[in-house]
Structure 1
């Protein structure tokens, strides 16, 4: 029977370590939940062709909020409070389930790719071909990483981590190349933002394999409570940036392109009052 790496290496957390992880999970829940609400109520501020991208972004944040609520509750059960405020939080018989993250990623990563392709407004055939490459690769990456995440064995974690890296690298390569190719077809006003999306995809998604490797590094720091806290912090902050912040970047691109295509979506234009006709009204 597979056992969780966190349960094996982290028998207890100090009050400060517990509070750090607890507050991080709370921050992620708030970030995801209210970003989802904001994106949903902002649909009317973009042209209809870009609204699907915002809806998908909101769904991504909503799914993440739900799973972080599950992680939040599970964490409190796995490391219950001691007799006093300063007591260590000893691991209970409830295992901290890192697998919740993988269920979340299995749903949200393909959706993140869909929203990225949607906001590019590429030709329909190009979109289909691109998603046919990206979605299966993203699902394979998550599925291959899961057995290593729930295993406390170094070799098992290393093997599945390596296998998961293959579709991960392919995914980043396709995204980077295709986003680069799309720059020529994008308005100059959004080119910089799209370039930043490319960098964020490589930079932010690179946090996940680094955090994944922490238990493999070993030592008192990486294999102990501090490493556990750092891993949760890495996953949590990367999720905020890769989902909530990324969704807001998608919204920014949709807003700019909507204003360029239709002045009705320009706030300044919409708020300018129509001048009154100076001619007298006939009796």
Structure 2
């Protein structure tokens, strides 16, 4: 019965429903990435397996939520904001954890992990408040969310995370820099989606843009991209150990 319901919800999508299309593609891409990361765990050195496991969990959690968000969009034609933020509050802190996991080889402490997790939660909670609960003051909550975001950027680009990456050197430093670029450029996609979906001084610029398409593209780039960076690091480091 459930399979038939899901089939009918997909069948209702119009051929030009590009929003529904990005939800469907996002779901399948995230699931495929999860399978890839999970199956790759046994082919790399043991110290990188937890990092790959977290990468697989990030995309798997996203795939499950995209499954429901796709059906919600097909049924109601509305942005599934609630499901999206549940997804983010689980996956974004895990993406922050990835920095700690790859920097453990250089002596990273758990305080770094918890600091990044706290900042990511603040960023998401205040974003939800502005996008859903207090839309009349969306610019204010967006500002607080942005401050938390830039605090994360500072920590990984110039703070203790940067120093640890430089101490580790080699493939770890290269992976850290790539993840930093994902945060600086890839995560910057989300504020655009936020401004496209909330009222404020920025409406004249982003008004009329579809926030779901922006968010869906951002999720695919960042979550799968994060995992591929970790996978590349694990493979390179494992090959170095074998030599």
TM-score (norm 2): 0.85
Q: Aligned residue for 2:33?
A: 35
1:142 equivalent to 2:124? Answer yes
Q: Aligned residue for 2:155?
A: 174
Structure 1 counterpart of 2:179, from 192, 197, 201:
197
Q: Flag the 1:254–1:98 CA change in 2: closer, same or farther, 3 A.
A: same
Shift of residue 30 of structure 1? 1.1
1:240 equivalent to 2:186? Answer no
Q: Flag the 1:259–1:166 CA change in 2: closer, same or farther, 3 A.
A: same
CA RMSD, 1 decimal: 2.2
1:156 equivalent to 2:141? Answer no
Distance 1:110 1:196 in 2: 18
Shift of residue 233 of structure 1? 1.8
Superposed structure 1 runs of 4+ greater than 6 Å apart: none
Shift of residue 188 of structure 1? 2.9
Of structures 1 and 2, the one scoring higher in RCO (CA 8 A, sep 6+) is 1
CA deviation string 1:4-49 (max 9, x = no partner): xxxxxxxxxx956x51111111111111101111110111111111
Distance 1:131 1:34 in 2: 28
Residue-pair matches, total:
227
TM-score (norm 1): 0.73
Distance 1:75 1:184 in 2: 45
Q: Flag the 1:152–1:222 CA change in 2: closer, same or farther, 3 A.
A: farther
Structure 1 counterpart of 2:114, from 127, 132, 143:
132
Q: Which has the larger radius of gyration?
A: 1
Q: Flag the 1:113–1:152 CA change in 2: closer, same or farther, 3 A.
A: closer
